[in-house]
Every structure is written in structure tokens, then in C-alpha cells.
Amino acid sequence: MLPNLTLNDLKREARDFAERESLHHEPRLFGVTDGKAIGTYFEHKFRRHLQTKFIFDEGSAAKGIDFPELGVDMKVTSLRQPQSSCPFRSARQKIYGLGYSLLVFVYDKTDDEATRTGTLTIPHTIFIDSTRTADFQTTTGLRGIIENGGNSDDIIAFLHDRFLPVDEITAQELAEEILATPPEIGYLTISNALQWRLQYRRVIEQAGQIGGVQRVL
């Protein structure tokens, strides 16, 4: 009987897998430039690796994240443009976080013409705790307002200035919640869209230097 996958197992296996994958020359990746295809290849391969060693809930589109029992979603992104999308649930995700943690693999792809293979070097593997998955500018701005003695009107004005997709009633409710429970500072850059656009440059730069943003590799 295989053991159940734990969060520590996931981080350890992510580190070891990224190290091995960085040395692997894959014919199927030669000439591939589509980031989605590269991400799918990597995610499926990592998942198959975990299946040989652990029991875990494999997640689904309905559940929304890759490891629902651990509250972790996996992202694979290019070093040249480290970003990805995630489902939009509500505007409060930008303030209080996505509601789950992120395991982010950042790759730099190269092709070898002689062997006609592609290699995904993984210079960064980062775990972002759910408490740090809010938007940096939004959370630092809100905490600044509170520290300067701002009230709900100031917060509502700030939310509108940031173009958060909220109506007046939701903005008022959020303002009262923010005053009562100031958000933790997040370290993602989250762009408004039909799906959130998550950008990771800040977490790459600061991983290992702040609580909740761990450099796995």
C-alpha cells in the first residue's frame, strides 16, 4: 500500500523531480514553443511520477486545483514571462488570497539541434502559501490606508481606483471586512480579467526571504 501524499512529500518530490527534469532531453519537446503544451507535458509527467509513490486525490477541473486534499495548485511557467491564469471566483481573492497555495515550476527551455531534443531547465521551484497569494499592490495599499487612519470611504475609493470588479454593496462589505481584518501582504501580481492573470516575478525575486514564500529549489 502506497502512503498518502503529504505537503512535505510534495515539496520534496517537486525539488527532486525538477532537478532530474533539468537534465532530461525530450524529443517530444524539440521545437515546441507553445507554453500551454509545455506546461501540460510537465504537469502530466510530474503527476505520473507521484502516482508511482503516493496515494492522492488527483483533482479535476470541477475541483479547480491539482491537489485539493493539500489545498495546492500546480503552475508551470516560462522564465521569460513568468505568469499563468487561474479561475476568477471573487474580487476578494485579490485582497485575501486565492484560497489555496501554489507550487510554481519556472522553466527555461532550450533545443539541441544535434540531438533534436528539448530540455526544460528548472531554475526556480517555489511554494507560495495561501496566505501570500493576494495582490501585492492592493494589499500594501490597503494596509497603508489603515495605518494612516483611513476609513471605509477611503477603502472604497481605493478599490474603485484599482478597478476591482465589485458593485457598491460588495465594496461596502469588503471595506468593513478590511477594517476589521486587515489583509496579509500578498506577493503575486494579479491582473483583472475574465480569469485572473497571475505574475510571478516578485515571488521569484523574494522567495526564501519572506514568510510564506518558500524556495523549494
φ, ψ at 7 (rounded to 5°)? -65, -40
Q: CA–CA separation, 191 vs 199, rounded Å?
A: 8
Q: Convert the pLDDT of each residue in 92-138 to its tens digit.
A: 999 999 999 999 999 999 999 999 999 999 999 999 999 999 999 99
Virtual torsion, Cα 163, 164, 169, 172, nearest 10 deg: -90
pTM of the model: 0.94
Domain regions of the chain by residue span: 7-133+187-215, 136-180
The grid coordinates of residue 112 equal 539541441
Reply yes or no on whether the pLDDT at 61 is more than 60: no
Considering the segment(s) 7-133+187-215 as one domain, its CATH architecture is: 3-Layer(aba) Sandwich (3.40)
Q: Is the Cα torsion angle 77, 104, 139, 164 positive or negative in sign?
A: positive
Q: CA–CA separation, 87 vs 64, rounded Å?
A: 8
pLDDT of residue 48: 96
Q: CA–CA separation, 162 vs 183, rounded Å?
A: 16
* Residue percentage of the chain with pLDDT more than 70: 98
The grid coordinates of residue 63 equal 475541483
Q: CA–CA separation, 6 vs 13, rounded Å?
A: 10
Q: How far apart are the first and last CA of the chain?
A: 29
Beta bridge partners of 92: none
